[in-house]
């Protein structure tokens, strides 16, 4: 290497770093009332000019968080960087195995499942799952009508969106109804899933020395995993007992019936179990959070609410059952959802790593494999790209505006080949939900937004008073 190049290189130790104490590392500096990721976004704003900072973790690792669009553009380069399993994903792999979301980079089953499943998730295939979406939505609308006709203290939007997205993905995924709207208590399987997801996050905040204190939690975690496997494995066995002509059009049938176009092989039953759990894990909280933030925004902006309602009335009629084609024509609803995912990305960061030693920003030496966290919630508010970043403005997603920005400025669905498989599914599901709810109900003002400190951010304490639209 020429001398000039060497002189310009800067070791990573020159980057801003959080303070650290023994055992807890930076934990005492990571607190934020809206959660760890909100704290990361705040730090990204403070260090926007450098664009990155180091965070010592209790396990001895020291990820680098990246929070401006210019560095994000580098991290999105698939020739240099790839997905890394980091943070909760390492533990979610205990129960999602080598399913698409938690597969290691280039793991053989990722390629195989990607080839088998991608066609089923393409925008053209989603109409197969439209009945699952509207069927779950009918239950939500009924639930809200009942709530509006009784004491009307408002509906718990986050809880109800979670039920909606869980019902939708379980009907579309494996023709299974948990009956979430029928009971205040979640189904035991869904409770086990929620606890296992929580444990996969909590375990990150435990200094390794304290691990023995959590033996009880670990035992329950193992029991939860076993019970989830039992239910899904039973569904797979039962499906095989039904003649193939009678199989419902769900993702399970697709996985059992289709062979890999490249190798001619099928997915193993174990891998199918992991994919089903993956759809449940990757596909419910994210869409539920998006819907809850969107309803909060609509309830706070009467003009936008009316504009959306006019579009829905024109596009769907005032009481007809919607068709997928009509739903796809709702351009404003789609832009409102896109803007919702900009301001409140429900996957607020994405873990990447260099495939070989490399140099970031032309000067920082980054070794292969060093964890890099791309702060999606920070790049979505980078003022060098987003004018007036805190303003909710769906027109940012008009085609000319989209074309004028670097593509790395907006990454709610992840990057490159490991981007979200369920993007079209989620957007159709969310669009039809917004459309039917806005068509049927008026919203009261819920007051200002506050955000809960959950890993996937959600509005906190959001009760919405809904009343059936006057006719």
What contacts 418, CB < 8 A, 6 or more positions away?
A: 82, 83, 105
**Pick from 37, 43, 372, 426: which binds ligand MNH (CB under 6 A)?**
426
| CA 31/CA 259 separation, integer angstroms | 48
CB of 465 to ligand MNH, least distance (A): 25
Task: Please state, as a whole number, how many other Cβ atoms lie within 10 Å of the Cβ of residue 434.
Answer: 25
Measured from the CB atom, is 286 or 377 closer to ligand MNH? 286
CA gap 471, 455 in Å, rounded: 41
Give 356-420 as a 3 state SS string.
CCEEECCCEEECCCCCEEEEHHHHCCCCCCCCCCCCCCHHHHCHHHHHCCCHHHCCCCCCHHHCC
Annotation marks residue 286 as catalytic: yes
Strands 364-366 and 372-375, how do they pair? unpaired
Question: Does 422 engage in binding with ligand MNH (CB under 6 A)?
Answer: yes
Nearer to ligand MNH, 144 or 279 (CB): 279
Catalytic residue from among 168, 286, 346, 431: 286
In the complex, minimum distance from the CB of residue 214 to ligand MNH, in angstroms, rounded to a whole number: 25
Span 189-228, contacts to ligand MNH by CB under 6 A: none
- Of 53, 101, 397, 443, the residue at the interface with ligand MNH (CB under 6 A) is 101
Closer residue to ligand MNH in complex, CB, 114/301 = 114
Does position 294 bind ligand MNH by CB under 6 A?
A: no
Site string for ligand MNH, 156-175 (x = CB under 6 A): -------------x------
Which sign does the torsion angle of CA 347, 348, 351, 354 carry?
positive
CA 204 to chain centroid, in Å, comes to: 19
To ligand MNH, the closest distance from the beta carbon of 351 in angstroms equals 6
Contact 114, 260 (CB under 8 A): no
Can residue 420 be called a binding residue for ligand MNH (CB under 6 A)? Answer: yes
Distance CA 208, CA 211 (A): 5
Q: What does the alpha-carbon distance between residue 130 and residue 429 come to, in Å, rounded to a whole number?
A: 8
DSSP for 98-118, please give it: TSTTTPPTT-HHHHHHHHHHH
Known catalytic membership, residue 420: yes
Per-residue contact track with ligand MNH, 1 to 40, x per CB under 6 A? ----------------------------------------
Nearer to ligand MNH by C-beta: 99 or 446?
Answer: 99
Query: Residue 107 is encoded by which pair of tokens?
Result: 């793991």
Q: Rounded CA gap, 356 and 360, in Å?
A: 12
Q: What are phi and psi of 185, to 5 degrees?
A: -85, 140
Q: How many residues bind ligand MNH (CB under 6 A)?
A: 24
Helical (H) or strand (E) element with 136: helix 130-149
Query: Does 272 participate in binding ligand MNH (rule CB under 6 A)?
Result: no
**One residue of 56, 67, 87, 412 binding ligand MNH per CB under 6 A:** 412
Residue ranges in 240-259 that form contacts with ligand MNH under rule CB under 6 A: none
Single out the residue of 421, 438, 458, 459 in contact with ligand MNH (rule: CB under 6 A). Answer: 421
**By CB under 6 A, residue 176 contacts ligand MNH:** no
> One of 294, 420, 425, 431 is an active-site residue; which one?
420
Is 279 tagged catalytic? no
Contact status, residue 165 vs residue 283, Cβ threshold 8 Å: yes
Among 56, 87, 120, 283, binds ligand MNH (CB under 6 A): 283
Return the active site residues.
Answer: 286, 413, 420
Q: Which residues bind ligand MNH (CB under 6 A)?
A: 83, 100-101, 114, 169, 278-279, 282-283, 286-287, 290, 346-347, 350, 412-414, 418, 420-422, 425-426
């Amino acid at each position: 290497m020429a001398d000039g190049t060497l002189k310009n290189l800067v070791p990573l130790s020159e980057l801003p770093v959080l303070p650290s104490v023994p055992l807890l590392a930076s934990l005492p500096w990571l607190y934020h009332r809206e959660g760890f990721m909100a704290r990361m976004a705040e730090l990204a704003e403070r260090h926007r000019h450098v664009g990155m900072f180091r965070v010592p973790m209790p396990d001895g690792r020291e990820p680098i968080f990246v929070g401006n669009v210019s560095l994000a553009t580098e991290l999105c380069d698939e020739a240099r960087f790839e997905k890394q399993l980091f943070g909760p994903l390492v533990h979610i792999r205990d129960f999602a195995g080598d399913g698409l979301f938690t597969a290691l980079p280039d793991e053989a089953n990722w390629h195989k499942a990607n080839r088998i499943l991608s066609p089923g998730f393409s925008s053209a295939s989603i109409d197969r799952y439209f009945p699952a979406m509207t069927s779950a939505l009918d239950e939500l609308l009924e639930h809200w009508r009942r709530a509006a006709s009784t004491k009307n203290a408002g509906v718990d939007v986050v809880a109800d969106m979670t039920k909606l997205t869980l019902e939708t993905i379980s009907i579309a995924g494996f023709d299974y109804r948990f009956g979430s709207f029928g009971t205040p208590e979640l189904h035991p399987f869904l409770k086990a899933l929620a606890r296992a997801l929580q444990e996969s996050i909590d375990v990150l905040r435990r200094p390794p020395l304290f691990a023995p204190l959590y033996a009880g939690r670990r035992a329950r975690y193992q029991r939860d995993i076993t019970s989830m496997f039992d239910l899904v494995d039973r569904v797979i066995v039962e499906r095989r007992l039904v003649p193939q002509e009678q199989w419902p059009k769900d993702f399970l049938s697709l996985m059992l019936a289709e062979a890999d176009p490249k190798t001619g092989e099928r997915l193993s039953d174990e891998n199918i179990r992991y994919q089903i759990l993956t759809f449940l894990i990757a596909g419910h909280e994210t869409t539920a959070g998006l819907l809850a933030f969107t309803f909060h925004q609509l309830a706070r902006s009467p003009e936008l609410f009316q504009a959306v309602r006019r579009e829905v009335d024109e596009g769907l009629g005032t009481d007809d059952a919607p068709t997928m084609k009509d739903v796809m024509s709702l351009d404003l609803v789609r832009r409102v959802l896109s803007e919702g995912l900009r301001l409140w990305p429900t996957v607020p960061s994405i873990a990447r790593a260099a495939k070989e030693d490399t140099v970031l920003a032309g000067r920082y030496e980054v070794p292969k494999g060093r964890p890099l966290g791309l702060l999606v919630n920070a790049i979505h508010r980078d003022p060098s790209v987003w004018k007036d970043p805190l303003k909710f403005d769906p027109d940012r997603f008009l085609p000319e505006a989209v074309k004028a920005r670097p593509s790395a400025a907006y990454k709610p669905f992840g990057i490159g080949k490991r981007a979200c498989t369920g993007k079209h599914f989620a957007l159709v599901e969310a669009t039809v939900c917004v459309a039917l709810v806005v068509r049927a109900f008026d919203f009261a003002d819920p007051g200002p937004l506050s955000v809960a400190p959950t890993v996937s951010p959600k509005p906190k304490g959001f009760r919405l008073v809904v009343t059936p639209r006057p006719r």
